[in-house]
Amino acid sequence: MESALLKRLDAILPAAPARDADAAGTHELPRRAMLLRAVAALPELPGEQPQGPSDPPEHRAAAAPHDPSSVHSAAARALRALAQAGLLSECVADAAAASGESGRPAPLSLRAMCLVRAALSYRSPLYDLMFVMQGLGSYAVALCGSAEQRRSYLPAVLQGDAVAALALTEPEAGSDLAGIRTRARPDGAGGYVIDGEKTFISNAGLATHYVLYARTDDHPKKGLTAFLLPAATPGVRTEPLALLCDDHPIGRVILEGVRLPESARIGQPGQGMTLALGTLEVFRPSVGAAAVGMARRALDETLVRVQARVQFGQPLAAFQATQLAVAEMATECEAAALLVAHAAALHDTGGPAMPASAMAKLFATEAAQRIIDRALQLHGGSGLIRGSVIERLYRDVRALRIYEGTSEIQKLVIARSLLTAKG
């Protein structure tokens, strides 16, 4: 069973993308196999569907109805399993490896991170979410945190003892981070008092720490500063949000008179925008990898379904319309996988990561939505059964075109780099 799953996971992202023959060849292959084995061996989560498209969807158990406490306990289980499997080191830049107090963290291998995200998403988007949030909610600390922050926080994130979150978005500041209104005022004793509201914060209510962005100055871009905020600090309150992707722990974070010492600041005052954009930039292609994992799962489910389902005396797969559909789905999936692998390889080898990473995120998330929609169509009514693999993928994939920079913002990034290059 596990080896069949391993084969499917191995097919999601290519082992040796273009321009990357050396690193992806002799050096990376054993590591690749080790990472995929670790993903395949993760325990099944509550509500996760059996690994492998076998039973007809209507014969599978429906997932438990949405309930924030059961989502939180599944998320906590997922994080523990990821930590025990040693997978979190692929997205948490390790302070121990940093060169000196103000040294940069050991660079993350984006190829490894993408491989793990694609494989986790194939299994369960919740596994993927808990994996990547440990990275998103710690990268600024790895990059610019004090020696004490790196020493106390990063190992805890790596072990899954600290649950990380990134608190950037606000009701009035989504795509445009210059609109952030959360204020951090000097408290007169070297520290800060923070008031404001964050929304759409993954892991809100579950996180032990937030990397929080607040305004310390009126300058739209140079006035933002990052803080490491323990969730238990007095004045921090969370409220859950119920979204379409209902196994995603998410909510609002309300900050009222929150007092933080100066030592909670990450980097220098005014460095927030650079840190926020730097974090999103590194992780961007990995959203594409998650999309590819989901799309590949939908494709695999569909290939089994159309060969098993008989209508008009023949399997659906015998109809040419079905053949054209699966051929197009597979081609889009492959194209998305190659773009993601290419962007990750460029990042890892110091090549020009832009606009390749924006293209990878844009194309892979849009393609995954199309592929999963077609998968649902080919499943017919059974694709709509609550809790079935395709129905869950259909709901889970939608957010990927929105978070960490919407598709429209990716297009603006791509256009800017093209027009700058020509101008």
The residues assigned a catalytic role are 404
Task: Pick between residue 274 and residue 302 the one whose CB is nearest to ligand FAD.
Answer: 274
Task: Pick between residue 187 and residue 246 the one whose CB is nearest to ligand FAD.
Answer: 246
Residue 415, both tokens = 């256009």
Q: Cα separation of 216 and 178, whole Å? A: 12
Q: Cα separation of 386 and 391, whole Å? A: 6
Q: What is the DSSP secondary-structure string of 155-172?
A: HHHHTTSS-EEEE--BTT
Q: First and final CA of the chain: distance in angstroms?
A: 55
Residue 169 contacts ligand FAD per CB under 6 A: yes
Cis-peptide into 355, omega within 30 deg? yes
Instruction: Let me know: does 228 contact 272? Beta carbons within 8 Å.
Output: no
Residue 95, SS3? helix
Task: Pick between residue 250 and residue 337 the one whose CB is nearest to ligand FAD.
Answer: 250
SS (H, E, C) 37-70: HHHHCCCCCCCCCCCCCCCCHHHCCCCCCCCHHH
Q: Which stretch binds ligand FAD (CB under 6 A): 113-121, 216-224, 245-253, 298-306?
A: 245-253
Show contacts with ligand FAD in window 381-420 (CB under 6 A): 399, 402-404, 406, 408-409, 412
Taking the complex as a whole, the smallest distance from the CB of residue 55 to ligand FAD amounts, in Å, to 29
Taking the complex as a whole, the smallest distance from the CB of residue 249 to ligand FAD amounts, in Å, to 10
Per-residue burial over 395-416, b = 16 or more CB atoms within 10 Å of its CB, e = otherwise: bbbbbbbebbbbbebbeebbee
Q: Cα separation of 375 and 325, whole Å? A: 9
Show contacts with ligand FAD in window 21-40 (CB under 6 A): none
Contact characters 123-162, ligand FAD, x per CB under 6 A: ----------------------------------------
Q: Which residue is nearest to ligand FAD (CB)?
A: 174
Residue 369 contacts ligand FAD per CB under 6 A: no
Q: Cα separation of 327 and 243, whole Å? A: 32
Residue 201 contacts ligand FAD per CB under 6 A: yes
Residue 174 contacts ligand FAD per CB under 6 A: yes
Residue 287 contacts ligand FAD per CB under 6 A: no
Q: Which stretch binds ligand FAD (CB under 6 A): 22-30, 244-252, 303-311, 353-361?
A: 244-252
Where do contacts with ligand FAD occur on this chain (CB under 6 A)? Answer: 166-169, 174-175, 200-202, 243, 245, 248, 250, 399, 402-404, 406, 408-409, 412
